Structure 1
Amino acid sequence: MDSAGGRARSRSFGASAAVDAAVFVRAGPDNEEYVRADRIDLKTLDAQMEKKRSTVWLERQRSASPRPSAALLEWEIDLAKLDIHNQIAQGTFGIVYRGTYDGHDVAVKVLDWGEDGHERTMKHREAFEKEVAVWQKLDHPNVTKFVGASMGTSQLKIPKKSSGSSGDHDVPNSCCVVVVEFQHGGTLKTLLYNHRDKKLPYKKVVHLALDLARGLSYLHARRTVHRDVKAENMLLDRRQRTLKIADFGVARVEAASEMTGQTGTLGYMAPEVLQGHSYDHKCDVYSFGILLWETYCCAMAYPNYSLVDISYHVVKLGIRPDIPRCCPRALAEIMARCWDANPENRPEMSEVVTLLERIDTSSGKGMTPVEDVAHGCSCFGFPRGG
């Protein structure tokens, strides 16, 4: 940088399209061409660099494939086989539709690939790349099956929102899609809400907890951290007999890079995550403890706390959900160990699987006595069995 004129030689920037012709000046005895650094559109430059990075990522994916460059990658879908139907959900990084792929029911997450210069679309691209990189390698009965994805396509047809309208309309901008198997049983959150007035049978609670624990144990064995374990991201099959982990949009491969920052959902986030400290897979163990409590109680943790208050109470005061006195001792101990403030004190998910498998779900086994309740457990504000 020239201190007198605040200029840099243009050749330092190459032929970047982000450097408009208006920023070039000529000066000096040799009439050399310079770039005025204060006139460079850094935001546009960052956007173009992000797009280039995404393109390079895709090219590397293709070069790593033994197939001809014209062929689909192992994880790429054939859009001709994809039919998108109705919208079923909307989240931070896209809209989820129900559809069919090659005759099979699927869920389709559509992320706006967008135009250059939009910071939001850069985040979508990054989320897409990382989700595909993680999800495509997973294969477990308690993990929702990854079907495929398509990057930067403008060929999709999305149904109109109005039920009375006919035909499709083009996606406004190019977009990318992630396609996974559709789970007809809905989310665990919906199941718990539907049982808010009459909690799930203890045997069902343990069964669901085991499914989740086995899925997380599998992920952690592969050094994969989900980072957003919550009831909305747990899906159930058609008969609601099997729970499957879904949504790997913020999942990361452990040790690939240091994990910091408040990633996840308040109420499920471990203290070290809330504080922005470095963390590992034990953040999932903490979230599992909170979700285990919710599954047993069929209620939401911290219902009387604002989102602002949750962080302070969890980190500074060590507040956790109140375990009902009627909760079986074995289950209560797993909850407490999983949400310990110190990650080192939390068990590995493989150990949690073992502990859950040992639980006797026969009626009355391991129950904590409730001397002051005459007609069963009333720890949720309602009597049981009468």
Structure 2
Amino acid sequence: MSCGEESKEGRDDQGEFKQTARKNSVELGSQLEKHPVTQNGLIPTPQFQIDEKLLIDPKLLYVGSKIGEGAHGKVYEGRYCDQVIAVKVLNSGSTPEEKAKLEGRFIREVTMMSRVKHENLVKFIGACKDPFMVIATELLPGMSLRKYLLTIRPKQLDLCVAIGFALDIARAMDCLHANGIIHRDLKPDNLLLTENQKSVKLADFGLAREESVTEMMTAETGTYRWMAPEQVRPSLPEDLSPDLAFIIQSCWVEDPNVRPSFSQIIRMLNQFLFTLTPPLPESDASKVAAPSRDGVITESSARARGKFSFLRQLFAARRARNSH
């Protein structure tokens, strides 16, 4: 069935979304009242430089209940064609200068989200520019990592689960950096859990920039508690594994050029994760395990520790070179 065709069941589902949307219409309508409208009832917006292929038909977009809100917009559950989605409605601004700034951010976010595809990045579906600036993405049934951590208090994440999440984040960031994109707002609020709560995906490209764009750090560059290590370095638990402490501290080296890349972090985390698994029987101790999904060959714990020793020497050598 094509996107424009609807079954009776589909019309019933969309009817439910329309009923829920009416509850939000007052809230969305109040935004419209703040701006002049055209004869068609649409906000007159300037021509955006967005590839037409990235735009979706707003007539097929249904908005349901609000599920989140941030500094730059609100997020609703919605439906596009036969797919349940997340609908991010961006703020439009109140002054010409603010409008231009927010429109530029919208263009940038849409363009960059459409450029990258990865299992640990929230999937981009499409965008609308009238009557509101809207970005449609896949809807993840799980909550944000921040909310999840709050729900399990006072317990802490199992170490293997925590390393798994760290690997997901590193893979997502590695993909972005490989495509010349700097996220600039990596934090638990922007990490969404999958339905089984076994994996996380990175969302919200609102503050992302292309690597070629150079600019000063500003108030909008990230969130205070989750700034880069130049800003703050918290103390580590005394009972933390020395190998894991090394991985963390290597990311905190004062010289950014000496810090490991995300691809190196992925390799180190994979090696550390293997040391947490039960030891192999003696008859299998010399065998090498199958490659992981990142293509990293996992080895025995002894060889893994040797790898950490090599990496320590590598980073020490790089620090020595950069100090001269």
* Aligned pair partner of 1:337 in 250, 254, 258: 250
Alpha-carbon deviation of 1:363? 6.7
Point out the structure with the larger helix share: 2
Matching residue within 108, 111, 118 for 1:130:
108
User: Aligned partners of 1:224, 1:56: CA distance in 2, in Å?
Assistant: 25
Quick one: distance in 1 between partners of 2:75 and 2:217? 26
1:304-347: CA deviation from partner (whole Å, max 9, x where unpaired): xxxxxxx5xx3xxxxx2121122222222111111223211211
TM-score (normalizing by structure 1): 0.57
Whole-Å separation in 1 of the counterparts to 2:164 and 2:93? 42
> SS at the partner of 1:238?
coil
- Deviation of 1:144 (Å): 0.4
Rounded Cα–Cα distance in structure 1 between residues aligned with 2:144 and 2:72: 18
Residue matched to 1:264: 222
Spell out, residue by residue over 1:154-199, the C-alpha distance to the aligned partner (whole angstroms, 9 max, x if none): 2xxxxxxxxxxxxxxxxxxxx2101111111111111211223111
Counterpart of 2:126 in structure 1: which amino acid? G
Listed as ranges, the gaps of 5+ residues in structure 1 are 1-53, 63-72, 155-174, 273-310, 315-319, 367-386
Superposed, 1:1-386 pairs within 5 Å as 55=46, 57-58=48-49, 61=50, 73-113=52-92, 117-151=95-129, 153-154=130-131, 175-255=132-212, 257-262=213-218, 263-270=221-228, 314=232, 320-359=233-272, 360-362=275-277
Q: Which has the greater radius of gyration?
A: 1
Q: Distance in 1 between matches of 2:125 and 2:47?
A: 23
Stretch moving more, 81-90 or 350-359: 81-90
Partners in 2 of 1:225 and 1:141 — Cα distance?
Answer: 18
Alpha-carbon displacement from aligned partner over 1:245-295 (angstroms, at most 9, x marks no partner):
10000111111x2132230011221265xxxxxxxxxxxxxxxxxxxxxxx
Q: Retained in 1: the 8 A contact 2:229–2:252?
A: no
Letter of the 1:350 partner, please give it.
S
Unaligned ranges ≥5, structure 2: 1-44, 280-300, 303-324
TM-score normalised to the size of structure 2? 0.67
Secondary structure, counterpart of 1:244 in structure 2: strand
Give the CA deviation at 1:133. 1.2
Residue 56 (structure 1) shift: 5.1
Deviations 1:22-53 (A, max 9, x none): xxxxxxxxxxxxxxxxxxxxxxxxxxxxxxxx
* RMSD of aligned alpha carbons: 2.1
**Distance (whole Å) between structure 1 residues aligned to residue 277 and residue 229 of structure 2:** 35
Q: How far did 1:105 drift?
A: 2.0
Cα separation, 1, equivalents of 2:229 and 2:205: 21
Question: Tell me, what secondary structure is at the counterpart of 2:160?
Answer: helix
Q: CA separation in 1, counterparts of 2:215 and 2:256?
A: 14
**8 A contact 1:93–1:127 mirrored in 2:** no
Alpha-carbon distance between aligned partners in 1 of 2:278 and 2:222, rounded to the nearest angstrom: 36
Partner of 2:246: helix, strand, or coil? helix
In the alignment of these two chains, the number of paired residues is 233
After the TM superposition, which segments of 4 or more aligned residues of structure 1 sit over 6 Å from their partners? 363-366
